[in-house]
């Protein structure tokens, strides 16, 4: 029970961190209760990844947690986008960026790309945490 609570809280914090990094895309609920529900659903989805993998008879390790966590968190975020009242995901224009000789022109980022990127980054950080917490 202690591990589940710890992983839920870490998942909630990481999920909030990455959603707040994409402020142009994610409009978080203004109500504290709705915000808590959105974060709690994200944390619970990340806790359910290993039991779901065990149900599918797949070993829960870094790569499988990362892939399945990304898929489940993307699906949960999309469903929350559809049914939560104050939770919206907008498209935005990524402005031009230059890094030395590398140049990225501006382009339109759809809500689906924002959902997938946030889900991947959240799953990546939580899977790193899970692997380091084992040792």
Give the range of the structural domain holding residue 44, as residue numbers without chain letter. Answer: 2-134
What's the average model confidence in pLDDT over 71-92?
91
pLDDT at 12: 94
How much of the chain exceeds pLDDT 70, in percent?
99
SS3 state at 87: coil
What digits encode the pLDDT tens for the residues 60-76?
A: 999 999 999 999 999 99
CB-based burial label for 124 (10 Å; 0-12, 13-18, 19+): middle
pLDDT band at 135 (very low <50, low <70, confident <90, very high): low
The predicted model scores a pTM of 0.88
Of 126 and 24, the structure prediction assigns the larger pLDDT to 126
Q: How many domains does the chain have?
A: 1
> What's the Cα-to-Cα distance from 117 to each of 21, 71, 113, rounded to whole Å?
11, 11, 6
């Amino acid at each position: 029970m202690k591990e589940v609570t710890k992983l839920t809280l870490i998942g909630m914090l990481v999920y909030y961190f990455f959603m707040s990094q994409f402020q142009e895309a994610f409009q978080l609920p203004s109500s504290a209760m709705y915000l808590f529900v959105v974060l709690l659903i994200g944390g619970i989805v990340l806790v359910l990844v290993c039991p779901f993998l065990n149900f599918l008879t797949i070993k829960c390790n870094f790569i499988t947690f990362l892939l399945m966590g990304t898929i489940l968190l993307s699906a949960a975020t999309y469903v929350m986008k559809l049914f939560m009242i104050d939770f919206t995901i907008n498209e935005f224009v990524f402005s031009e960026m230059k890094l030395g000789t590398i140049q990225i022109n501006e382009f339109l980022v759809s809500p689906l790309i924002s959902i997938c990127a946030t889900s991947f980054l959240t799953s990546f950080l939580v899977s790193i945490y899970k692997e380091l917490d084992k040792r």
